[in-house]
Amino acid sequence: MTPSSPRLPKTQVGAFLLEALVGLLIFSFGILGIVALQAQSIRFTNDAEIRAEVAYQTNSLISTMWTKFNPKNIGALQAEFDSTVGGPGYVQFQTDLAAALPPGVTMPVNPVVTVDGATPVVPEQSVSSSVVFVQVVWLMPGDTAQHNYAATGVIGLN
Q: Which domain does 40 fall in, by range?
A: 15-156
Q: Domains in the chain: how many in total?
A: 1
Whether 150 is covered by a domain: the verdict is: yes
The pLDDT tens digits of the residues spanning 28-76 come to 999 999 999 999 999 899 999 999 999 999 999 999 998 888 777 777 8
Please provide the DSSP assignment of 45-76 as one string: HHHHHHHHHHHHHHHHHHHHHHHH--TT-HHH
Q: Is residue 2 part of a domain?
A: no
Please report, as a single letter, which amino acid is at residue 154. V
Of 139 and 125, which is predicted with more confidence? Answer: 139
4 domain-assigned = no
Distances in Å between the Cα of 31 and the Cα atoms of 34, 39, 146 are: 5, 12, 31
Residue 8 lies in a domain: no
Q: Which pLDDT score is estimated for 2?
A: 59
Q: Which of 64-68, 72-76, 81-85, 135-139 has the lowest mean pLDDT?
A: 72-76
Please give the model's pTM, rounded to 2 decimal places. Answer: 0.73
